[in-house]
Amino acid sequence: EANILQRPGNQHGKDLLLQGQSPKSGQIFKNPLLAQTFKELAQSGKRGFYEGRIAKAIVETIQRNGGVMSLGDLKEHTSTEVAPIFTDYKSLRIWELPPNGQGITALMVLNMLENFNIKEMDHNSADYVHLLAEAVKLSFADSFQFCADPARVLVPVEELLAKNYSKQRSELINMQRANSKSIHGNPSGAGGDTVYFTAVDAEGSACSFINSNSTNFGTGLVPEGCGFALQVSKSTNKQQPLCTVSPA
């Protein structure tokens, strides 16, 4: 555990160690440097952290290790007042911070657990721990996929907390075995896939049309003035790679 504090470039990691080792249970660890930081925050408030000595120390450490944060970045920081989110777990209403925080993950776990009779399981029994672990894995798969800065991306909070969605997700839990790979769900219910249609006129002339880029928008590269994106494909020496189209 102490190794991460002793990496090259981490000149002051030793400040959090006792004689070069992580403090152990029962040992007394004094941190006068943190006490001084708290005193400065008490005296100067927000400015004591985002400007001045503490800010300079933070920026110097980050830049010395290859980061790009500047004093201006810290000085321009603002806090936002957000509306909490909630779910109803049986007779209780549980409140959490919204995304970009991960409080929604805990709410999704509770929603899934509602679909099981936990009272029949002994506390910390194999079934009890297994159920919680599987629900947490599925919930984190969703939060890692969908939760980000709500000012920049649309986070489907209402859909992620919908009871019918949690029911669908809970059905992925197998009480006999662990899920080795938990993947995110589709809370909006909308899907994206290959577009295909066939048109036939009265004279029998037909057109079979398929629009497949392997993944959504393929490479994302759009030739100027052409109206389509290039497909994801790798080939060398004029070889023909696997093609995903299979028109009728």
Residue numbers annotated as active site: 194
Residue type, 140: F
DSSP letter string, 115-179: TS-GGGSPTT-HHHHHHHHHHHHHHHHHHHHH-S-TTTS---HHHHT-HHHHHHHHTT--TTS--
Contact 85, 161 (CB under 8 A): yes
Contact 131, 118 (CB under 8 A): yes
